[in-house]
Amino acid sequence: MSSMRHGDLVEVRSASEIAKTLDDTGSIDSLPFMAEMQEFCGKQFRVSRRALTACFSDPPGTYRGFNSDRIVTLDGLRCSGAAHDGCQKACVIFWREEWLRTVGDEPQIVSDVEIAPITRSGDNYRCQATELLKATHAMSRVDRVSRYLDGLRQGNFTVFRMMRCVSIAVIWWIRTKLFGLYARGSQTKTPIESLNLQPGEWVEVKPMKNIIETLDKNGQNRRLYFSPDMRLFCGRKLRVKSRLDKMIIDGTGQMRRLKNTVCLEGSTCGCAYMGLGMADCSRCEFTLWREIWLQRCDSSEARDQ
């Protein structure tokens, strides 16, 4: 039975202790312990949330439930991509409770070792994102509601936030039924624009009508989806967090090269708009922005908003 909750102070066990929990693929129940996680061994962190649900990118808004209730995320810990040829997706790391101890528990006295996680499977990369389909299962509507209530009981969110997200999901469902996918364009070959944005620069998200002109009938610009929640940023001024030149694709393990794409500070996926229960999605992925959807703005003007 799960024991770690939001706010608990925990310590990542030693590499020796963790190695004893792993199968011959370096995993527990298909969730791998990645090389990037070793630097956190012996350090203390707060539990961010219990990982109950996760979204999957193909198709966008696919709902998945974890096969185990013994998985958590820790405050601020994302994958550096250092052991995966510099993947820049910066995914939230999932932690099995077997890899953690509650601070105050007596540590085991063991000699430390280096874990050698498997970072490739044939020609493709292997990480938690590529194994997500194996570590999770499809959820029915009843299962989504049940997981949502579990998230409330586990302290992942408040009653107020749950009510707000349910209301948003219902409104968005009605809107989609009446008018279809919001951000749909008519381009057969979507346009490109290069701003060469750098971390720290301020940008303004263009109006919705301008963004639609850059999309195809599936709401994509060069295979990158403009998700429903992104429309809420239109007209807002945000700072560039990082450029995104390459990332490993969910499920496939293929490295995809990107151009003219950035992440913005404060912009993470808005799963509340994807369906009931997904407001508790534990992935909290950074939203990816094509530069053609943005325009530079003056920093002093941005701070005055």
pLDDT in tens, 54-74: 887 766 667 788 999 899 999
Percent of the chain past pLDDT 70, that is, above it, reads: 87
The predicted model gives 127-134 an average pLDDT of 93
**143, part of any domain:** yes
**172, part of any domain:** no
**281, part of any domain:** yes
> Does residue 244 or residue 185 have the better pLDDT?
244
The predicted model gives 222-233 an average pLDDT of 86
142 and 212 in a single domain? The answer is: no
Flag whether pLDDT at 1 surpasses 60.
no
Which residues 6+ apart lie within 8 Å of 237 measured at CB? 202, 203, 204, 297, 301, 302, 305
Flag whether pLDDT at 238 surpasses 80.
yes
State the pLDDT at residue 86.
95
Domain count, the chain: 2
- Give per-residue pLDDT as tens, 187-223: 999 999 999 999 999 999 999 999 999 999 988 999 8
Which residues on adjacent β-strands are paired with residue 64? 54, 138
**171, part of any domain:** no
121 and 222 in a single domain? The answer is: no
State the pLDDT at residue 271.
62
State the pLDDT at residue 163.
80
d(CA 65, CA 222): 29
- Nearest-Å Rg of the Cα atoms of the chain is 20
- Give per-residue pLDDT as tens, 69-90: 899 999 999 999 999 999 999 9
Report helix angle 159-179 to 141-153, nearest 10: 150
Residue labelled with tokens 């209530």: 149
Question: Which helix H or strand E contains 218, and what residues bound it?
Answer: none
**177, part of any domain:** no
127 and 74 in a single domain? The answer is: yes
d(CA 41, CA 23): 19
Domain membership of residue 148 as a residue range: 9-101+111-159
**44, part of any domain:** yes
Give the confidence band of 229 by pLDDT, cuts at 50, 70, 90: confident
267 and 206 in a single domain? The answer is: yes
**CA distances from residue 203 to 196, 285, 290 in whole angstroms, order as listed:** 12, 20, 12
**188, part of any domain:** no
State the pLDDT at residue 277.
47
**286, part of any domain:** yes
